[in-house]
Amino acid sequence: MPDSPDHPPRLILASSSRYRRELLERLRIPFDVVVPDIDETPLAGESPETTALRLAEAKARAVAGSGAGAAARTLVIGSDQVATYDGLQIGKPGTHAKALAQLQAMRGRDVLFHSALCLFDSGSGTAQAVDVVTRVRFRNLPDTDLEAYLLAETPYDVAGSAKSEGLGIALLEAIDSDDPTALIGLPLIALTGMLLAAGYPLFGTR
């Protein structure tokens, strides 16, 4: 059946992140979630931008190549985020101790967040990809404030150990980005542009 506003391509979010799922729900379009099975370890000598873009596309292609992406035409969204300062990559801390160490290292400094996005079209076998960069300046706060924040919000599953959509905004002095949703994990301005370019009926009229 050809695509139409009544029968759009199937949309899949290739992610285990509840934050990305919540962001995509803002668009009020139907989608499924499939968790990709890939190795997310950065390669030796790989730049943060390259890591983020490579993993975003790998996630989308992994799901598109599985049984989940076997429909006549499926659009698969892959995304990955890498934070960096002084050339060092900052991942998800996983534990309280590692999160505290991250925040201590970043306080009073500028940190770049690379939020890569890929939209893979199974119908054409093509991928659109972009890296949206957000510059974040962290406040120079004492350990007591950092500890209190971590205990309040437990942001151990986000790169950089701070949730800007919650209390973590108090850790930040400034955010510089073309897309306010990029820092949370899924750049919606870039994504909606990709979906429109792929002919997806975001407004039910295409």
Q: Which residues are catalytic?
A: 80
Residue 197's beta-bridge partner residues?
Answer: none
| Alpha-carbon span 130 to 58, nearest angstrom | 14
Strands (E) across 102-180 are located at 110-121, 126-138, 172-176
132 and 117 Cβ atoms separated by less than 8 Å: yes
Q: What are phi and psi of 116, to 5 degrees?
A: -85, 145
Residue 76's beta-bridge partner residues?
Answer: 12, 120
